[in-house]
Structure 1
Amino acid sequence: MYQQLNSILVLLFISLFFIISSSTDTITLTSPVKDGDVLVSSGENFALGFFSPRNSSNRYVGIWYNKVSEQTIVWVANRDQPITNSSGILSIDETGNLVLHEQDRRFGFWSTNISVAVTNDAFSAQLLDTGNLVIFKGQNKAVYSWQSFDYPTNTLLPGMKFGVDKKTGLNRIVTSWKSSVNPGVGDYLYKMEFVGSTQLFLYKGMTKVWRTGSWTGHGWSGVQAMTQNYIFNVSYINNNDEVYVVYLIRNSSIFSRLMVNESGNVERLTWHEASHGWIGFWSAPNERCDGYNYCGPFGICDPYKSGNFECECFPGYEPQSAPDWYLRDGSKGCKIKNETQICKDGEGFVELAHAKVPDTSTASVNMSLDLKACEQFCLKNCTCMGYAIADISNGGRGCITWYGDMIDTRTFSDGGQSLYIRVDATELANSLSNKPKSSHKNLYMVIGMPMIAVGILSCFFFFCCIRKKKGNRLKQKVGYNFATSSKSLEGSFMNNDIGENVDLNAFDMSTIVVATDNFSLLSKLGEGGFGSVYKGKLQNGQEIAVKRLSQSSGQGMQEFTNEVTLIAKLQHRNLVRLLGYCFHKDEKMLVYEYLPNKGLDSFIFDQEKGSLLDWKKRFQIIRGIVRGLLYLHQDSRLRIIHRDLKASNVLLDANLNPKISDFGMARIFGADQDQAITRRVVGTYGYMSPEYAMEGLFSVKSDVYSFGILVLEIISGRKNNSYYLENSVNLIGHVWDLWKQDKALTVVDSALGNSFDAREIILCIHVGILCVQESATDRPTMTEVAFMLNNRDTKLPSPNQPAFIFRQLNYGKDSTSTSLSGGVGSVYNETITHVHAR
């Protein structure tokens, strides 16, 4: 009897063992994971449970390697909400969500927070042998509703998609831990961006630290270790639904991971069993040339260059600032040589071999062109600065062409790809003469043949010159309107064909609706003349600002085209970043980076918030605006006139750094164009220059005038159209009166108290008045403004009377209703044919 009972107990124990072991990788409604329990994947590669970092009593739910002797965490659920005791439970509820809570359920620390249609099917969560935690629906586990691979922490595992789901907007982003003992979200972020060609970026906060380069077909152009003998099978997918890269391990017995560490490095680590440790296979950035934009625009970083300075300029370019270059500071980059003449006979391209091609944020991609067609395509467009093959595998296909500043370029001893830089005939001849003699036989084909062709066509020279002059006169009359070589951008947008010209995220309406909570009032950030702006949050957690253009506003397809095409090509820390756009029936929306401090106007015109901006910060904001305008007017490839610069169009980031926004009214000038005339005057009263408001004539000096108003507003904390005493009805007149009486400091915002530098204040007021002078020719350029503000001891010219010095008039029986301007003829009582002011 005893023996039979013993046998039964053994059988029950064995059965119970198999029941338990068969469910050790799964969480069900009745089988949660408590602190102390561990799930192990079927192949025993990975484990899930509670853990505490070294020297910490906080408890987290994580996934780690089960077969590695050193506990290595690859995923954490409650990164920023640790449990301070051992009462935690990870369970799955009736709605199909994983929930981390304490035993009494009074407080939830983490949840998958997904919405699933209510069904009678049971939900379960299973830890797979890939390290992926997946929520399944139904007994057959045919459908899953959530997976940890879509929400990585600091680690990418083999088989994990790294990239963007275009339909949902999900961007799988990797973020570092705060420290080695704190798995909270840290400073460093690694993500995919596909403006132009697909690239991966490492950020510290909002600052780009390192870039992989574009995808070449074999790998990333800036990751030298990615060769054909790589231990991974790397797949890159880009279709209508998603764009991502996935690494599959060739040898399943190898444990390898890619992670972003707390020090700001992306590194590939492989487990070495013999030494019981992780071996570093590759990391970046690890040298100065890896630093993003280390040598500035049109600069090349060459770590193999002799001497202590790695930077050199593109062929045909010279340092932007020779003194800085001499001091081994290449951050300002290079500019085209003064004597260089692009778009002239005999020009061509110089090859830069083994290169990490420039940031493609200022580039366009056409996959239908081969190398020769790519060269001809770039050569026909005078704004094209260089080109490269998009996919170098299988003989090469696709064409990348750059149109703005070419930044973050470097060379390798091996790897990379060829980059072709546009140069004039002189530079091309010099580059050919420096080649080995074996290549001189090409000199005839490259230079001789074009010269013969020029000789044959010389009889048409006079005719062509006449046509060109006529074309230039026409451009000066109507303003320069940017166009692609095949069709105008406006026409492209009218046909809803944005992607052919500008590579940006095209958001679905459903994504925007979800992100903004259906444009709820709680999400609304503000409202302007052309629509409302809403705060949104994408599914991946990224915060955005959505500019929803009003259907009844004056901004139509032309303004929408302007804003998208301009800002997508502009790259500067003092310009707001455009993330994408959305078309839906009559709806037009722009999606920007979200800047938490909104517009400058919300600070300087508010008594309470104004005190948050001391004079040091206001002076930094003024100089930041100067840098942004200087880039638009001079440093970008084409001269850009903003035409609507004002306090509300200067946004402030988390650190109160200024970023110029709203390019709907902006216009592009040709390199040799100084001004243009329009019958459609747009902008904001109070910021318009007199020649623009009265005659429709605009130039860089129009922006200078608006900047001058903005400077005076920042100093005074008052709007230009505010009511002032002593006969002045605007800020300009008030400041001018005080300036003539040597009482300019009395205009300073009371929120500043007495804690300001009087010399800097006077300097800024002086510069502001110079910028708002009546005559555009009297106003300084932004280059001169930058020099004035950075050289306090420079003697500034005496300002002439500003424009629009209105006076209050006492209307009597015989009086007229004319607004006088102190005798200088600035009368603002004319009717303009087409005025669209905000």
Structure 2
Amino acid sequence: MKLGWDSKSGGERVLTSWRTPIDPSDGEFVFRIESIESPQLLLEKQKIRQSRWGPWNGHRFSGAYFKKSDHVFRPVYHSSPEEVSLKFETTDESVLLRLVVNQIGVIQFLKWENGSQIWVPVMTLNQDICDTYGSCGPYGVCYRNNAQRCRCLKGFSANMSNDRPLIDPMNECRRKLALKCNNDDGFVKRRELKLPDKFTVWQGLSPQQCGGYCLKECSCMAYTNIDIYGNGSKCVVWLDKLLDIGYSAHGGDALYIRVARGELESISSAKRHRLYTAIAILLLSAFLWTAALCAKYFTFDYERTTKTATVNRRSSQVQDGQDMQFFSINTISAATNNFSQAKKIGAGGFGPVYQGELPNGQRIAVKRLSEFSRQGDEEFQNELSMTAGLQHRNLVKLLGCCTEGDERILVYEYMPNKSLDKFIFDRVARRLLSWEKSFEILKGIAKGLSHLHSGAEVRIIHRDLKVSNILLDDEMNPKISDFGLARNVEAETEEITRRVTGTYGYMSPEYMMTGSYSTKSDVFSFGVLVLEVVSGRRNWGFRHPDHDFNLLGHAWKLWTQGKALELMDPVLLEESFREKDVTRCIQVGLLCVQCHSGGRPAMPDVVSMLQNDDAIPMEPREPGFYGLKSSRELKSSLARGNQETCNGLTITTLTGRS
């Protein structure tokens, strides 16, 4: 397959979508190289830009990155006065490969699988919200797989609304300081960017001259030097607003952005401040390390009363500034009829949960730490500190706590309809939960999880998202609960633990295998939850007479065969529903459970996918842990000399939660 222009004939080679899956006449989407003068890849819908990769920088199209481990082809670019073209050559002649643009504008490489006799997606080019043209507006940078998806370039700021951390593309980034169009202006260098659209090539300028000439031209907003035509570095400039920029760690380029002199001084001052802060932290760390080294020779044996005092002190610290109160044990005991069995409504790793009623008539849920609890004081304190500051309609609200004597009690708002699993896994109760309401519940859960992940400085990773931890209020609105395993992490970081805890069937591959967790671990759990709600079946323990896949593998198999709707719970098929909503949920679920965490969408993008009717411009790839087998089956398979790759897993040292 070749795309491009022939200057002699004036001909252009493009890739056009079909009108429908069964109608091969020309559809609305065209994948092409823009022009000989502006060699960049474009996806257009009726001549309107939808996605863009470019310009060519001598090695690749800016912002486009093909992982060598993921494909069986290589892109070959050719540029000369006679022709500008791009073609994809297979690296293995035995592999049958094709490039398609489907009827909704998704660009995919498909590989023929002889065994299953189907075309399987190998790579999707426009697989992320950031691939949507101009998604962050002028001077905004789109970050893939990030809760704070849109950010302004240095020297610019955005109008924030409703305390949201995301930039509204309708309120574009604006300069902090106006340009003066003289020598007072300067340039800030940004690396690893997909270069903006609407560029111009200034011929005859060396890399050293490019910036100087740009500074003399008042309309010149940025410049760079790249090998755009394959015959040496050229001066490339932007003479208008910088639009459609993206962060690309592996496929980006350097861009020199014009800012006012005052902004340059501010940036320099900020760098000095960060340097001084780093030095101070190093000195403090050295002092603490020395103190710890001295302290290790002393042993202190604290009695239970001392630990109780510590818990009370931390609880008081949490209470400060929070809408939370301390309850006496007498109040809690009276509310629950002395923790009567008749008031008991559940139990978990923390301990029993009771229904209660305060003197003012308010109904409450009481979680009491069991003396045999595996979680103990540490996770009591963790849940207390995590939940106290949460304020969102889709997160359960902590009302207060009790830490008298040996008691460790958390008091929550009461959820009269219990947990989501009581509905979706019960054949009778499921009929009370329509598909329309199920869809709204999934949207609510996504919003609550997005709120946890969207902290500007610190994010909360739940680490135990599952259907039994989704509580339903009197109007069946969902609220995420149980934060005993939750963790605070700094923005854009990944943590590692040596104690892997969670629930079988919901834990992501990277967490189970290496202990690494991030917001994408929660995204995986959400994807499992979505597929369970749609199908009415549990992922852990799923059985099918025709194959050994779990629920994820079963959903993936149906998706690749074009039979996604067969995943839907038969009970839901008895009522009216919009097929595209069900298909959308399945697609989102499969995107969330992809094996590689980098391919999973961030939760704000998941919320957008579920709320909008627009086609999702991403195709899911192979999920993680979709072919679970017992160790006996694996040994038997190996003994037979089976050379096929096996997605098997044996679990030995994990701590499961009920």
- TM-score (norm: length of structure 2): 0.53
Question: Is 1:534–1:547's contact at 8 Å kept on the other side of the alignment?
Answer: yes
Contact in 2 for aligned 1:773/1:799 (Cα 8 Å) = yes
Task: Report matched runs for 1:302-381 at 5 Å.
Answer: 319-320=159-160
Offset, 1:584: 3.6
- Out of 564, 570, 578, the position equivalent to 2:390 is 570
Q: SS of the counterpart of 1:534?
A: strand
Output one character per residue of 1:73-115: Cα deviation in whole Å (capped at 9) or x when no partner. Answer: xxxxxxxxxxxxxxxxxxxxxxxxxxxxxxxxxxxxxxxxxxx
Alignment of 1:507 with 2:327, yes or no, is: yes
2:374 aligned partner? 554
Please show how residues 316-715 of structure 1 align to structure 2 within 5 Å: 319-320=159-160, 463-464=279-280, 494-497=310-313, 498-503=315-320, 504-635=324-455, 638-671=458-491, 673-715=492-534
CA distance in 2, matches of 1:459, 1:598: 52
What is the aligned-residue RMSD (CA, Å)?
3.9
Change (3 A) 1:654 1:331: farther
The answer as to whether partners of 2:530 and 2:586 remain within 8 angstroms in 1 is yes
Q: What is the CA distance between 1:731 and its match in structure 2? A: 1.3
Deviation of 1:784 after TM superposition, in Å, equals 1.7
Q: In the alignment, is residue 778 of structure 1 matched against residue 611 of structure 2? A: no
Distance in 2 between residues matched to 1:524 and 1:458, nearest whole Å: 53
Contact 1:543 1:593 in 2 (8 A): yes
C-alpha distance in 2 between matches for 1:470 and 1:779: 39
Alpha carbons of structure 1 residues 461 and 646: separation in structure 2 relative to 1, 3 Å: closer
Rounded Cα–Cα distance in structure 2 between residues aligned with 1:638 and 1:625? 20
Q: CA deviation at 1:810?
A: 11
**In 1, Cα distance between equivalents of 2:445 and 2:340:** 32
Q: Deviations over 1:498-526 (max 9, x none)?
A: 21332421111111111111222211111
Shift of the 816–615 alpha-carbon distance from structure 1 to 2, 3 Å rule, reads same
Kept in 2, the 8 Å contact 1:603–1:613? The answer is yes
**Secondary structure of the corresponding residue to residue 552 of structure 1:** coil
Letter in 1 for 2:484: G
How many pairs align? 385
Per-residue CA deviation, residues 158-212 of structure 1 (Å, 9 max, x unaligned), is: xxxxxxxxxxxxxxxxxxxxxxxxxxxxxxxxxxxxxxxxxxxxxxxxxxxxxxx
Whole-Å separation in 1 of the counterparts to 2:175 and 2:512: 37
What SS does the aligned partner of 1:828 have? Answer: coil
Shift of residue 637, structure 1, vs aligned partner? 5.5
Letter in structure 1 aligned against 2:372: S
Residue 578 of structure 2 corresponds to which residue in structure 1? 757
What secondary structure is seen at the aligned counterpart in 2 of 1:709? helix
Q: CA deviation at 1:459?
A: 10
Aligned residue for 1:796, secondary structure, equals coil
CA distance in 1 between partners of 2:524 and 2:307 (Å)? 33
Tell me, in whole angstroms, the C-alpha distance in 1 between the residues paired with 2:374 and 2:274. Answer: 48
Q: Which aligned pairs between 1:75-474 and structure 2 lie closer than 5 A?
A: 319-320=159-160, 463-464=279-280
| 8 Å contact from structure 1 (residues 694, 828) kept in 2 | no
Name 1:137's counterpart in structure 2.
none
For residue 705 of structure 1, report the CA deviation from its aligned partner. 0.2
- Please give the secondary structure, in 2, of the residue aligned with 1:554: coil
Say which SS state the counterpart of residue 563 (structure 1) adopts: helix
Alpha-carbon shift at residue 492 of structure 1 (Å): 9.4
Letter in 1 for 2:617: L
TM-aligned CA deviation for residue 811 of structure 1: 5.9
Question: How far apart are the structure 2 equivalents of 1:778 and 1:513?
Answer: 49
Shift of 1:493: 7.0
Shift, 1:465, TM fit: 6.9
Q: Which has the larger radius of gyration?
A: 1
Name the SS of the counterpart of 2:625 in structure 1.
coil
Q: CA deviation at 1:690?
A: 0.8
Contact 1:708 1:772 in 2 (8 A): yes
**Does structure 2 retain, via aligned residues, the 8 Å contact 1:804–1:828?**
yes
> Equivalent residue of 1:750, what SS?
coil
The whole-number CA distance in structure 2 between the counterparts of 1:538 and 1:604 is 31
Equivalent position of 1:789 in the other structure: 610
Q: In structure 2, what is the Cα distance between the partners aligned to 1:674 and 1:715?
A: 32
Give the structure 2 partner of residue 828 of structure 1: 649
Code of the residue aligned with 1:537 in structure 2: it is: E
Post-superposition CA distance 1:768-825 (Å, at most 9, x none): 011111111111111221222223323432222111122557968982699x999666
- For residue 776 of structure 1, what is the amino acid of its counterpart? S
The aligned residue for residue 365 of structure 1 is none
Q: Tell me the secondary structure at the aligned position of residue 522 of structure 2.
A: helix
Q: Secondary structure at the match of 2:412?
A: strand
Unaligned residue ranges in structure 1 (runs of 5+): 1-315, 322-329, 342-428, 431-446, 472-489
Q: Which amino acid aligns with 1:771?
A: C
Give the distance between the partners of 1:333 and 1:730, measured in 2 at CA: 37
Letter in 2 for 1:783: P
Contact 2:629 2:649 in 1 (8 A): no
Do the aligned partners of residues 798 and 828 (structure 1) sit closer, same or farther apart at CA in structure 2, a change above 3 Å counting? Answer: same
Tell me if structure 2 keeps the 8 A contact 1:544–1:592: yes
Question: Residues 106-126 of structure 1: CA distance to partner in whole angstroms, max 9, x if unpaired?
Answer: xxxxxxxxxxxxxxxxxxxxx
Q: Distance in 1 between matches of 2:435 and 2:469?
A: 20
Q: Distance in 2 between matches of 1:459 and 1:678?
A: 30
Tell me, in whole angstroms, the C-alpha distance in 2 between the residues paired with 1:713 and 1:822. Answer: 32
1:184 alignment counterpart? none
Which residue identity lines up with residue 683 of structure 1 in the other structure?
G
SS of 1:611 mapped into structure 2: helix
Superposed CA deviations along residues 271-312 of structure 1, whole A, max 9, x for unmatched, are xxxxxxxxxxxxxxxxxxxxxxxxxxxxxxxxxxxxxxxxxx
Of all paired residues, the percent bearing the same amino acid is 44
Contact 1:578–1:592 under 8 Å retained in 2: yes
The normalised TM-score by structure 1 is: 0.42
Whole-Å separation in 2 of the counterparts to 1:786 and 1:613: 21
Bigger drift between 460-469 and 704-713 goes to 460-469
Alpha-carbon distance change, 808 to 552 in structure 1, aligned in 2, over 3 angstroms = same
Q: What SS does the aligned partner of 2:636 have?
A: coil
Label 1:494 to 1:338 Cα distance change in 2 as closer, same or farther (>3 A): farther
Q: Distance in 2 between matches of 1:825 and 1:468?
A: 50
**Contact between 1:719 and 1:731, CA under 8 Å: does it hold in 2?**
yes
Distance in 2 separating the partners of 1:745 and 1:770? 16
Consecutive unaligned residues in structure 2, runs of 5 or more: 1-155, 177-261, 288-305
8 Å CA contact retained: 1:770, 1:799:
yes
Specify the SS of the correspondent of 1:607. coil
Letter of the structure 2 residue corresponding to residue 686 of structure 1: G
Residue-by-residue CA offset, 1:443-464 (whole Å, 9 max, x unaligned): xxxx9xxx9xx99x99967743
